[in-house]
Amino acid sequence: MPAHDVLIIGAGLAGQRAALAAAQTGASVAIMSKVHPVRSHSVAAAGGINAAISVDDDWHSHAYDTVKGSDFLGDQDAIEVMCSEAPKEVMDLEHMGVTFHRNEAGEMDLRAFGGASMKRTAYVADITGQALLHVLYEQLMRHHETVERYEEWFTTSLLKDDAGRCCGVIAREVRSGRMEAFTAKNVILACGGAGQAYKPTTNGLIVTGDGIAMAYRAGAPLMDMEMVQYHPTCLLETGILITEGARGEGAHLLNSAGERFMEKSAPNKMELASRDVVSRAEQIEINEGRGVGPDGAGIYLDVTVVPRKRTLEALREIVNLGRDFAGVDITREPIMIRPGQHYIMGGVKTDVDGRTPIEGLYAAGEVACVSVHGGNRLGANSLLDTLIFGRRAGEHAAHRAATMGMPSVDTRPHLREDSAMIDAIIAREGGNGSNRRVSEIKNELGEVMNKHAAVFRDEAGLQSALETIGRLKEEAGKAWIDDRGTVFNQDVLGAIELGFMVDCAEATVVGAIERKESRGAQFRTDFPERNDEEWLKHIDISLDGNGEPQVSYSPVTITQWEPEERKY
Amino acid sequence: MAETHKPPEKFTLRLRRYDPEAGEAPYWDEHTIELEPHRSVLEAILQAKDRFDGSIGVRCSCRQAICGSCGIRVNGEPALACHTHLDAAKRSAKDGVIEIEPMGNMPVLKDLIVDMDAVHWKKIQRVTPWLIASQPVPEREYIVSKESMVDVTQTMGCIQCGACVSDCLAMEVDPGFIGPAALAKAYRFVGDPRDDEHEVRLRDLAEDPQGIYDCTHCFKCVEACPKDVNPMGQIMRLRRIAGNDFGIVDQNNGERHEAAYTTLVKDYGLNHEAELLPRSYGGNSWFGKFHPAAGKELLSSLPIVIKGVLRRKVNIKIAIFGHKLPKQDLKAVQAIYDKVEGRKERYELNLYITGEDEPKEEAAPLAAAQSSTEGSAS
């Protein structure tokens, strides 16, 4: 049975960074992912990574912008850690081999991004996430003797010992169907968000809230789950993401009258206000009949105002996306976009070292909520979040491992339980009217979330969503699949993922009902104002003894920036 | 606006299925789905999977050609499923049914899923795929030119989907060939001014008989790549840097063979088959023709030559005496050489940077000159 000091679940940026950091301290490290590491969804992050590396910049300015972007819900101690460590982290990555684009002087070039008071986003064309992910994977290949890789292994649950400490996981090798128990002194969850609970979403099909749900089921609290980011520029039809870098390079947003409507809600920053503000402004244009395209459901993003050579050099990927997925040459004509689900600010509650309240369990990246993003994440802060807190979690877990022996726990009952759970799904009969296909339930879940837990929310809609989710949860428990095999049985994994997504969706809706104010990404049409007196606090959600979500609160840490009115 | 918002249509997919547990041979499986014609083949496969048969095996995630999971073959050609439109796929189908198979050159694990570890990733690992940074490491970033980082972004843009590996003809014949994806990855370091081991890397890849000189210039990888990485172009750049900049003459004779071809075309305007082998071994001098290795190589290639003659692929007269080009045409060819060789610096045409329809001064004649040098060794 495999045993490791540090076992990392998820091999996107947070996971790979954690693995490298832990391995550097000499710990025995393994990294496990349900897909090959370079398929992880960090690959899709396009625009860049924020760091106050310019000589004219100061990390305090970055931190203030982040606090303001979070609508003052972010924890300022954590934001200070992230922003002050950002420049060194970016330099370390550059030294590892990331091909950051340069200015004429040969230094790292910086581009403008939403909600930032100056240019501080380092980038690799518009494939920054891909470049970072592939370079980290180069490092994993380099250190293949010290970091063990379990590629295409699906984690089904977390193991806890009698004292309630996390001591490993149960996982299934996708290729063979073999079930295995992994013992570990520490487990770091780094397996991303839960975007697939929404339809449409910019997130990949693999982003199904696995880590959030597994931690939640193991007793860890979730925080800020109501805060769901809608990205302002997704292709109208397919929901594919167009990077904020486009607006960073100067692109405009236009309504059907050809007006730059951002003048109304963000007269100073215009298109580069923070994402919640821009998405809301777009949705208002659409709702009030000034949208473009079929049913007026879109907005024009006009990249033609950016010099063509610059677009080809710095926004290459979206030139291709426009051509291949919308049939539009963005260097010659505007393209139709709309807001779309993109990121969840919430997640498993952690401290600045990635520790969750469960001893031995860490979380980093989108799966976690430190909270550095609060009510709204700034563009290009997510890559930074994954790397800073991935590294910190890896280091902390490795040091903890050095102080303890390998946990001895009888894993056999857990292994049997998860094997039986999978066998039961495979054995389910279907098509007799008593149960539904996984895909049908998933579609309904996504549509409900996108209708009621989106840019604008209200009590009635959220309550009806909660009711639907309750039904879907039951249906998910008996959903049927076709594949009876063991080799690459993606069907059965889909059924498990559906369960994870339903849990995440439920927490999101419960949080959104609870928060009776409008802050960041949560806009309640029935409570349209921010209410610091009552709601300047985090909403934590845990499972109670009956498997029902239980709400509690935790304070927001304020170090140097008192809440103030938020204007862009 | 382009072809968006057309009503849904019916499309039939013919999927190559393989169940490793059934103990039976692969078979074909047909499904009819309904989607707008500009939707992707991946969406079609997923609809079939969601509605009719959840056991269809296919790797996929991002749906936007960035994660590199869904490399397959559509109507026999390698592609990303998410990056291929249904209407285009139907147009290229031989009988209106879109034929979907797993990629080639890699063992099939189940349905459309291939074993990339056994082939693709092993080859990537072969090229020392990490930066060996120049020392000392600066406190801040390395100061390097703007152009150099934009240049390596082309190979950094590789998503490791395996489409080029799937259709590499050289790899089909010689499975040990390092191959287009891994060699493009190698360029990502050789083109990176921060890397300290350019010469070591190039020597390694040139001396390996399955390295940069094993490519046969078939252009399959260039066509297959969904991300414009141009793997063959990167291999040719590795050769130029190895030969011209570092003077690496490999013991397998790849460099000399290419040089022989280039000088022959300069002298005769076209290839001169009878001269190619002697020059490849003995260089351009008259005595070189009698290099013993050339004779040995000639002997060992005789069966192929004879076969070529019998099948009328080789014209004996032209092979021995060479092509005769009209003087004017020969002069025109040589003018290209004069122009390219007269440059102070080698001009590396990179369409990824310049954009394809942005006419750049001299771009056209240069492209012609380059394709003549690139179309050389065989």
- A102-111 pLDDT tens trace: 999 999 999 9
A556 falls within a domain: no
Q: Distance from B335 to chain A by nearest Cα, in Å?
A: 32
Q: Does A414 touch chain B (CB under 8 A)?
A: no
Same domain, yes or no, for A297 and A381?
A: no
Of B67, B133, B148, the CB nearest to A95: B133
Q: Does B141 touch chain A (CB under 8 A)?
A: yes
Q: Please count the residue pairs, one from chain A and one from chain B, whose beta carbons lie less than 8 angstroms apart.
A: 191
**Cα–Cα dist B68/B81, whole Å:** 10
Same domain, yes or no, for A151 and A103?
A: yes
pLDDT at B353: 62
The residue of B5, B35, B147, B149 whose CB has the most chain A CBs within 10 angstroms, and thus the best one to mutate to test that interface, is B149
A565 falls within a domain: no
Same domain, yes or no, for A388 and A475?
A: no
- B13-41 pLDDT tens trace: 999 999 999 989 999 999 999 999 989 99
Q: Which amino acid is at B168?
A: C
pLDDT at B368: 38
> What proportion of chain B, given as a percentage, has pLDDT over 90?
66
Same domain, yes or no, for A329 and A472?
A: no
- A1-31 pLDDT tens trace: 799 999 999 999 999 999 999 999 999 999 9
Q: Which of A435, A419, A484 is nearest to B55 (CA)?
A: A484
A543 falls within a domain: no
- CATH number (domain holding residue A247): 3.90.700.10
Of B153, B194, B355, the CB nearest to A124: B153
- What are the tokens at A489? 């049985």
Res. B196: pLDDT tops 50: yes
- CATH number (domain holding residue B183): 1.10.1060.10
- Which residues of B fall within a CB distance of 8 Å from A125? 150, 153, 157
pLDDT at B320: 79
Same domain, yes or no, for B258 and B359?
A: yes
**Cα–Cα dist A88/A91, whole Å:** 5
DSSP string, B19-45: -TTTT---EEEEEEEEE-TTSBHHHHH
User: In A, residues 474-493, which contact B (CB 8 Å cutoff)?
Assistant: 481-491
Q: Indicate yes or no: CB of B141 within 8 angstroms of CB of A486.
A: no
pLDDT at B4: 53
Cβ pair A37, A432 in contact under 8 A: no
Q: Indicate yes or no: CB of A328 within 8 angstroms of CB of B113.
A: no
Active site residue A247: yes
Same domain, yes or no, for A347 and A336?
A: no
A567 falls within a domain: no
Res. B351: pLDDT tops 70: no
**Full residue range of the structural domain in which residue A248 is found:** 232-340
Residue where a domain stops, chosen among B114, B130, B161 = B114
Q: Indicate yes or no: CB of A99 within 8 angstroms of CB of B124.
A: no
Cβ pair A84, A58 in contact under 8 A: no
What number is the average pLDDT over the span B372-377? 38
Question: What does pLDDT average to over chain A?
Answer: 96
Q: Does A175 touch chain B (CB under 8 A)?
A: yes
Q: Distance from B369 to chain A by nearest Cα, in Å?
A: 25
B169 falls within a domain: yes
Instruction: Select which of A4, A62, A231, A342 is catalytic.
Output: A231
Of B4, B59, B142, the CB nearest to A327: B4
Same domain, yes or no, for B339 and B367?
A: yes
Of B5, B55, B188, the CB nearest to A294: B5
User: In B, residues 274-333, which contact A (CB 8 Å cutoff)?
Assistant: none
Same domain, yes or no, for B298 and B189?
A: no
Res. A384: pLDDT tops 50: yes
Res. B373: pLDDT tops 50: no
Q: Does B146 touch chain A (CB under 8 A)?
A: yes
Same domain, yes or no, for B80 and B132?
A: no
Greater model confidence, B287 or A119:
A119
A523 falls within a domain: yes
A407 falls within a domain: no
Q: Indicate yes or no: CB of A44 within 8 angstroms of CB of B192.
A: no
Residue B290 banded pLDDT, cuts 50, 70, 90: confident
Same domain, yes or no, for A239 and A326?
A: yes
Res. B358: pLDDT tops 70: no
Same domain, yes or no, for A361 and A500?
A: no
In chain A, the residue whose alpha carbon lies closest to the alpha carbon of B46 is A439
In chain B, the residue whose alpha carbon lies closest to the alpha carbon of A90 is B141
> What proportion of chain A, given as a percentage, has pLDDT over 70?
100
What number is the average pLDDT over the span A64-89? 98
Q: Indicate yes or no: CB of A308 within 8 angstroms of CB of B355.
A: yes
- A512-557 pLDDT tens trace: 999 999 999 999 999 999 999 999 999 999 999 899 999 999 999 9
Cis omega (within 30 of 0) for bond into B138: no
Same domain, yes or no, for A148 and A292?
A: no
Residue where a domain stops, chosen among B184, B214, B245 = B245
- A398-412 pLDDT tens trace: 999 999 999 999 999
Same domain, yes or no, for B182 and B165?
A: yes
DSSP secondary structure letter of residue A42:
G
Instruction: Select which of A62, A149, A247, A515 is catalytic.
Output: A247
Q: Does A287 touch chain B (CB under 8 A)?
A: no
pLDDT at B197: 97
pLDDT at B33: 97
SS (H, E, C) B298-364: HHHHHHHHHHHHHCCCCCHHHHHHCCCCCHHHHHHHHHHHHHHHCCCCCCCCCHHHHCCCCCCCCHH
- What are the tokens at B132? 């060996």
Residue where a domain stops, chosen among A340, A358, A379 = A340
A502 falls within a domain: yes
- CATH number (domain holding residue A423): 1.20.58.100
**Cα–Cα dist A512/B137, whole Å:** 49
**Full residue range of the structural domain in which residue B339 is found:** 254-374
Same domain, yes or no, for B107 and B172?
A: no
Same domain, yes or no, for B155 and B219?
A: yes
Q: Indicate yes or no: CB of A151 within 8 angstroms of CB of B109.
A: no
Residue where a domain stops, chosen among B245, B267, B285 = B245
Residue B67 banded pLDDT, cuts 50, 70, 90: very high
DSSP string, A440-452: HHHHHHHHHHHHH
Q: Distance from A96 to chain B by nearest Cα, in Å?
A: 7
Residue B362 banded pLDDT, cuts 50, 70, 90: very low
Residue whose tokens read 């141009």: B230
B110 falls within a domain: yes
- Torsion, Cα A27 A28 A33 A37, to 10 degrees, reads 70
Same domain, yes or no, for A370 and A433?
A: no
- What are the tokens at A15? 């996971």
Q: Which of A406, A360, A402 is nearest to A1 (CA)?
A: A406
- What are the tokens at A8? 């990392």
Same domain, yes or no, for B136 and B239?
A: yes
Q: What angle do CA A402, A404, A410 make, to 5 degrees?
A: 130
- What are the tokens at A153? 């292994």
Q: Which amino acid is at A35?
A: V
Question: What does pLDDT average to over chain B?
Answer: 88
pLDDT at B371: 40
In chain B, the residue whose alpha carbon lies closest to the alpha carbon of A207 is B61
Q: Which of A190, A193, A191 is nearest to A391 (CA)?
A: A190
Count of the separate structural domains present in chain A: 3
Residue B2 banded pLDDT, cuts 50, 70, 90: very low
- A432-481 pLDDT tens trace: 788 999 999 999 999 999 999 999 999 999 999 999 999 999 999 999 99
Count of the separate structural domains present in chain B: 3
Res. A277: pLDDT tops 90: yes
Same domain, yes or no, for A134 and A33?
A: yes
Q: Which of A223, A284, A275 is nearest to A244 (CA)?
A: A275
Residue B367 banded pLDDT, cuts 50, 70, 90: very low
pLDDT at B369: 38
pLDDT at B199: 97
Same domain, yes or no, for B363 and B350?
A: yes
Identify the bridge partners of residue B178 per DSSP, sorted by sequence position: none
A452 falls within a domain: yes
Q: Does A444 touch chain B (CB under 8 A)?
A: no
Cβ pair A543, A550 in contact under 8 A: yes
Start-to-end CA span in chain A (Å): 55
Q: Indicate yes or no: CB of A141 within 8 angstroms of CB of B160.
A: no
Same domain, yes or no, for B191 and B150?
A: yes
What is chain A's percent helix, strand, coil content, to nearest 5? 40, 20, 40
| A281-285, A314-318, B174-178: the lowest-pLDDT one | A314-318
User: In A, residues 21-60, which contact B (CB 8 Å cutoff)?
Assistant: 35-36, 38-41, 43-44, 53
Q: Indicate yes or no: CB of B61 within 8 angstroms of CB of A127.
A: no
- CATH number (domain holding residue A198): 3.50.50.60
What number is the average pLDDT over the span A192-207? 97
Same domain, yes or no, for B275 and B367?
A: yes
B2 falls within a domain: no
Same domain, yes or no, for B97 and B162?
A: no
Q: Where are the extended beta strands (E) located within A75-213?
A: 110-111, 121-122, 147-151, 153-160, 166-173, 179-189
**Cα–Cα dist B308/A268, whole Å:** 74
Of B20, B63, B142, the CB nearest to A487: B20
Same domain, yes or no, for A370 and A419?
A: no
Active site residue A414: no
Q: Distance from B48 to chain A by nearest Cα, in Å?
A: 11
Instruction: Specify the pairing of strand B98-101 against strand B9-17.
Output: parallel
Q: Indicate yes or no: CB of B2 within 8 angstroms of CB of A327.
A: yes
Assembly ipTM:
0.95
Same domain, yes or no, for A418 and A382?
A: no
The residue of A33, A53, A102, A329 whose CB has the most chain B CBs within 10 angstroms, and thus the best one to mutate to test that interface, is A102
pLDDT at B276: 84
What number is the average pLDDT over the span B72-88? 96
- A127-185 pLDDT tens trace: 999 999 999 999 999 999 999 999 999 999 999 999 999 999 999 999 999 999 999 99
**Cα–Cα dist B288/B281, whole Å:** 7
Q: Does A139 touch chain B (CB under 8 A)?
A: yes
A347-357 burial, b at 16+ Cβ within 10 Å, e below that, comes to bbbbbbbbbbb
Cα atoms found within 13 Å of the Cα of residue A396, Cβ hemisphere only: 21
B4 falls within a domain: no
What number is the average pLDDT over the span A304-315? 91
pLDDT at B375: 37
B181 falls within a domain: yes
- Give the DSSP H/E element, type plus range, for residue B255: helix B254-268
Residue B352 banded pLDDT, cuts 50, 70, 90: low
Q: Does B358 touch chain A (CB under 8 A)?
A: yes
Residue A325 banded pLDDT, cuts 50, 70, 90: confident
